[in-house]
Chains A and B, each alone.
Chain A
Amino acid sequence: MPITTEPTGRQRTPQRLGDRVFSGASTGAGVLILAVLAGVAAFLLVEAWPAVTAPAEDMPGGEGVALYVWPLLFGTLLSALLALAIAAPLSVAIALFITQYAHRRVATTLGYVIDLLAAVPSIIFGLWGVSQLAPLTVDPTGWLAENLGFIPLFAGPASSTGRTMLTVALVLAIMILPINTAVVREAFRQTPRLHEEASWALGATRSEMIRMSVLPFGRSAIIGGSMLGLGRALGETMAVAMVLSTSGGVTFNLISNGNPSTIAANIALQFPESTGIKVNALIASGLVLFAVTLAVNMTARAVINRRREFSGAN
């Protein structure tokens, strides 16, 4: 390096044209993604605005956009939370079976099968749910309505087609199982080997070992994975649209023909035939769905990322 008397400041490598173009392009792509996400919110807001400002009687139902969206939001939350209640324990069991109980080679194959389940298009779950699962639920729900009818969830009268909130929750649970399981399985697999062996050395049975070292380690993954699954269930469209028979009211009755629809399913069912202000109303409901899923997903990611930071210390 030549000795100079002038102060050169911070030394920089010369920027070649190719470098500048390439780093510019890749930064641009990253920024584009942020712009798209902001664009989703902006465009939905622009198209939803006419529905918010329109006079109440122009809305479907005639009582304004808030009362139009509320039953849909209720149905969305009810179906997704029910699905989560079914799927979360099952996914922990599946992840435990794959990581702790199954033979290693079997476990690899099983992991692949679970991933395949995630790849099955939702339209197929919809076809299956309405033609196979729904008829199967008719007799059990009839029994529930007769014998447990005093519980508001099973007030009945039981649907004779099986296209109920309960069936929807089951289909959604099956659909979110893979993503739930994938997150939990990954965390269980990373349980520190030394923790496991310490449990074994203390004479723990397998179930005690799991409770002492695997479950505490995977707790935040179970929460995060469940919330990711919840996000999926909230936004699931086709399966709900095909299975659920709706009447629009707000009810906790899970086994009757009159169910609240969900935001996503309602958009899919109404959009193709809608024009004018009705399209804006649908987009307004979509904006609500977007906000809810965004909040759920951001929380889930924050929980999962926090675990990642902690586990680095192990």
Chain B
Amino acid sequence: MSLSTTDTEPDERSAAAEPLTHGTLPASGPPLVLLGAIATGAVLWLLGWNPALSGIVAAVGYTAVVYVWSRAVEEARAARDRLITAVVSSAFLLAMLPLVSVLATVVSRGLARFDGEFFTHSMRGVVAEGGGVHHAIFGTLIITGLTTLISVPVGLLTAVYLVEYGRGRLARAITFFVDVMTGIPSIVAGLFAYALFVLFFGPGVRMGIAGAVALSVLMIPVVVRSAEEMLKLVPNELREASYALGVPKWRTILRIVLPTALAGIATGVTLAIARVIGETAPLLITVGITTSDNFNPFDGRMATLSVFSYYEYVSPGVPPEASLDRAWAAALVLILIVMALNLVARLISRLFAPKSA
């Protein structure tokens, strides 16, 4: 390229205003185009266009304008760089839209029945308006509590085995299958629990403890994974110092390793609870639904928030609005619980982080 321009060089020098390199877009250029694109999208939306479609038009328009402009002013490589930047950024923004929409929808439609009666009444004898989720909230708490009681000891001990004892083929197999287990579909976990309980109680069995067993299948691998990561972080010097003082291995694990990793483990367990508390499918087939309070997980159907929300939506009463409002309000309660658990998990990891770190 430089060779071919050598003979015309004196002419270009005389032009003087021409820089040696290619020009660049003004720094405020792309942001201004972005603002224009967003404004166009908003106008299209206000004109009654599909919001998703106007978002896509805005993103494609921004990408095209920036690319063409950069192509005219800058070199081809810079233009391609701007193109890819624009594509990546707009893909990211487009992917954020559903999240915003989900949260906004749940909050706005859930607030209609977010009142005192909703939390203090069950659905006993309710056909149209009124009623609440008192029974479902307690059902969710009882079943999730039982799940935690089963999952945390098993998960924690397995993590201890993998980090402190496990060597060879068994440890590798457990690591691999724990990973695989995180991918078991929740409905299959539900079928497993149902098939297990059918052996003891006969066909058609529905009880809270079966739901807890199903949820444990989903929760144990999550607990193992997070606890294992945390136990690996405990410095080996601590263990060795303890062995050097003649402390047996099991006491070292109980008194040194576990307390050091406690904050991380608690965070992991909280996040694992948040994962299973919103599960619907396994509870739908193992626990079912009921309209009144049943706080005994060993005796028949119980109500849970997610299943309650599902049934209120798919089989609404007359008029349907009351049921739909209850479904959305239950969804709002569920999402608030999940968000609160996530917040608690972050607080735990921040407040109780090991001092040495």
Point out residues on A near B: beta carbons under 8 Å: 16, 18-19, 21-23, 25-34, 36-37, 39-40, 43-44, 46-47, 89-90, 93-94, 96-98, 101, 113, 115-117, 119-128, 130-133, 136, 139-140, 174, 177, 205-208, 210, 228, 231-232, 234-238, 242, 264, 267-268, 271-272, 275-276, 279, 282-283, 286, 289-290, 293-294, 296-298, 300-301, 305
Contacts and interface: CB of A to CB of B under 8 A. Distances in A.
B141 interface: no
13 contacts: A21-B250, A97-B92, A101-B88, A119-B271, A122-B281, A123-B280, A124-B334, A128-B106, A174-B99, A267-B187, A268-B187, A275-B204, A290-B184
B72 interface: no
The 3 closest A-B pairs by CB, nearest first: A235-B185, A121-B278, A29-B157
A242 B309 CA distance: 11
Of the candidates B173, B196, B253, B271, the one having the most CB atoms from chain A within 10 angstroms of its own CB is B196
A194 B100 CA distance: 37
Given A21-B250, A25-B157, A121-B279, A93 B91 contact: yes
B154 A289 contact: no
Contacts of A16: 248, 250
B313 interface: yes
Given A43-B195, A44-B195, A237-B187, A264 B281 contact: yes
A30 B166 contact: yes
Secondary structure at the A interface, as helix, strand, loop or mixed, is: helix
A293 B183 contact: yes
Contacts of B52: 136
B280 A121 contact: yes
A301 B250 contact: no
A70 B89 CA distance: 41
B31 interface: no
Given A44-B191, A127-B327, A136-B51, A121 B281 contact: no
Interface of B: 50-53, 77-78, 80-81, 83-85, 87-89, 91-92, 94-96, 98-99, 101-102, 105-106, 109, 153-158, 160-162, 164-166, 170-171, 173-174, 176-189, 191-192, 194-196, 198-199, 203-204, 217, 220-221, 224, 248-251, 253-254, 271, 274-275, 277-281, 284-285, 288, 306, 309-310, 313-314, 327-328, 331, 334-335, 338-339, 342
Contact of B249 (A19, A32, A40): A19
B88 A93 contact: yes
A264 B195 contact: no
Contact of B284 (A23, A120, A271): A271
B165 A23 contact: yes
A123 B309 contact: yes
Contacts of B158: 26, 29-30, 32-33
B99 A117 contact: yes
A296 B194 CA distance: 24
A231 B271 CA distance: 21
Contact of A289 (B87, B95, B188): B188
B280 A237 contact: yes
Contact of A89 (B91, B310, B342): B91
Contacts of B334: 121, 123-124
Contacts of B180: 37, 294, 297-298, 301
B186 to A, nearest CB: 6
A275 B162 CA distance: 42
A98 B95 CA distance: 13
A300 to B, nearest CB: 8
B185 A264 contact: yes
A146 to B, nearest CB: 16
A94 B185 CA distance: 25
Contacts of B160: 26
Contact of B250 (A23, A122, A205, A228): A23
Contact of B196 (A39, A117, A228, A301): A39
Given A19-B249, A26-B165, A34-B177, 9 more contacts: A19-B248, A40-B192, A119-B338, A121-B278, A122-B278, A127-B331, A128-B98, A128-B105, A297-B182
A242 B250 contact: no
B250 A18 contact: yes
Contacts of A301: 176, 179-180
A139 B195 CA distance: 44
A75 B224 CA distance: 33
A272 B184 contact: no
Contacts of A125: 102
B53 A140 contact: yes
Contacts of A298: 176, 180
Contact of B183 (A32, A98, A205, A231): A231
Contacts of B96: 113
A121 B77 CA distance: 44
A39 B161 CA distance: 21
Given A116-B339, A127-B331, A242-B314, A36 B217 contact: yes
Given A101-B89, A116-B339, A268-B187, A127 B309 contact: yes
Of the candidates B88, B101, B198, B224, the one having the most CB atoms from chain A within 10 angstroms of its own CB is B88
Given A30-B161, A32-B154, A131 B185 contact: no
A33 B185 contact: no
A127 B191 CA distance: 24
Contact of B80 (A32, A139, A205): A205
A293 B91 contact: no
Contacts of A236: 185
B99 A289 contact: no
A290 B188 contact: yes
Contacts of A237: 185-187, 280-281
